[in-house]
């Protein structure tokens, strides 16, 4: 009887391990504008940077709750480029602000972002 109970426990531990490690909780969200981001409270949840330009559109973010990673991108209108870049700190070809890293393509008005993994180590 003890062997059966032990086997059942080992089985459930193995299933739990497989489910938590091989099936991560990844979610992809798409927003058409900053207004939609605000309605969905994505900024408050920490999935979208606070400093998005008001003209941001085609916003996509992917977050993995298990690994604490966030990746995303958005486009913006030319009129917001100067003020958006002014709020960022440049480090090589990457910009930083409030726990996020940004790659900005000023020719295409496209920004890729991700959470800064070093932000939590301070």
Both tokens of residue 12? Answer: 């459930």
**Which helix or strand (DSSP H or E) is residue 27 part of?**
strand 26-33
Cβ-based neighbours of 117, under 8 Å, separated by 6 or more: 69
Residue 64 lies in a domain: yes
Residue 122 lies in a domain: no
What are 73-113's pLDDT values in tens digits?
Answer: 999 999 999 999 998 988 777 899 889 999 999 999 999 99
Residue 120 lies in a domain: no
Residue 42 lies in a domain: yes
Residue 19 lies in a domain: no
Does 66 or 27 have the greater pLDDT score? 27
Sheet containing 57-64: order of strands: 26-33, 57-64, 69-75, 110-115, 100-105, 94-97, 89-91
How many structural domains does the chain have? 1
- Give per-residue burial for 25-34: e unless 16+ CB within 10 Å, then b: eeeebebebb
Under the phi-then-psi rule, with left for phi > 0, alpha for psi from -120 to 50, and beta for the rest, what region is 46?
A: left
Domain that holds residue 88: 25-115
**Which helix or strand (DSSP H or E) is residue 106 part of?**
none
In terms of C-beta density within 10 A (0-12 exposed, 13-18 middle, 19 or more buried), how is residue 117 classed? exposed
What are 17-28's pLDDT values in tens digits?
Answer: 776 666 667 889
């Amino acid at each position: 009887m003890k062997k059966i109970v032990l086997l059942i426990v080992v089985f459930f531990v193995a299933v739990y391990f497989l489910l938590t490690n091989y099936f991560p909780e990844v979610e992809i969200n798409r927003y058409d504008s900053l207004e939609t981001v605000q309605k969905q409270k994505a900024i408050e949840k920490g999935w979208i940077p606070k400093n998005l330009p008001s003209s941001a559109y085609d916003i996509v973010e992917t977050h993995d709750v298990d690994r604490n990673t966030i990746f995303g991108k958005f486009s913006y209108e030319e009129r917001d480029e100067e003020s958006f870049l002014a709020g960022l700190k440049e480090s090589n070809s990457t910009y930083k602000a409030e726990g996020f890293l940004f790659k900005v393509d000023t020719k295409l008005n496209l920004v890729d972002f991700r959470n800064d993994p070093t932000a939590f180590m301070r």
